[in-house]
Structure 1
Amino acid sequence: MADMSPLFRRNDRRTDKQTAPEKPQSHRGHLVTLIRKPGCHLCDDAHAVIEKVCGELGVPWEEKDITQDEELYQKYWEQIPVVLVDGKQHTFWRVNEQRLRKALT
């Protein structure tokens, strides 16, 4: 019976290890959206942070130009740049790398 217990624990560990690679995949379930406008230096700063964090975590991201979308313009024109995580507003003006990373993990 003592032999069964270590084997049982080993099997549990293997199961945990098999599920461990899925955590990065769960990050990929997120989508980060940067709403920006041309010529905006804060937007360029936000782009750099998002590119770094999403690249490291394997999270997809996109950019939307506020000047090309009337609905985005009406909603966010005073807050550019705006970052959405999974369609919900995460931040605006300045993107904090640690806060974004935490939201995605």
Structure 2
Amino acid sequence: MTEPRVRLYSRAGCHLCDEARLVIERVCVELGETYDEVDIDADPETQARFTDEVPVTFVDGRQHDFWRVDETRLRRALGS
């Protein structure tokens, strides 16, 4: 199985994470891409790295956005 191109770092109870997830889901479905999601609070190192920036979005292994996901920018990063 191929690694998802998009990764969302999030935490429970984060309204910005909920908004980011909706944008990522919509774009990935439309473009036939996959994404996964990592709960930053499940790992102390990840929590320390991203605690003030969630949600954080990575595309192809590189940080793309934090706090908000710009749909147009995400589409561009995915080659659409």
Question: In structure 1, what is the equivalent of residue 12 of structure 2?
Answer: 38
Is 1:51 equivalent to 2:51 in the alignment?
A: no
Q: Report % sequence identity.
A: 50
Q: Which runs of 4+ in 1 moved over 4 A?
A: none
Do 2:4 and 2:36's aligned partners in 1 also have CA atoms closer than 8 Å? no
Of structures 1 and 2, the one scoring higher in RCO (CA 8 A, sep 6+) is 2
Do 2:9 and 2:39's aligned partners in 1 also have CA atoms closer than 8 Å? yes
Q: Greater share of helix residues, 1 or 2?
A: 1
Is 1:61 equivalent to 2:50 in the alignment?
A: no
Point out where structure 2 has 5 or more consecutive residues left out of the alignment: none
Q: CA RMSD in A?
A: 1.5
TM-score (norm 1): 0.70
Question: In structure 1, what is the equivalent of residue 66 of structure 2?
Answer: 92
Question: In structure 2, what is the equivalent of residue 72 of structure 1?
Answer: 46
Q: Residue type matched to 1:104 in 2?
A: L
The structural deviation recorded for 1:75 is 1.1
Point out where structure 1 has 5 or more consecutive residues left out of the alignment: 1-27
Q: Greater share of strand residues, 1 or 2?
A: 2
TM-score (norm 2): 0.91
Q: Residue type matched to 1:79 in 2?
A: E
Do 2:12 and 2:39's aligned partners in 1 also have CA atoms closer than 8 Å? yes
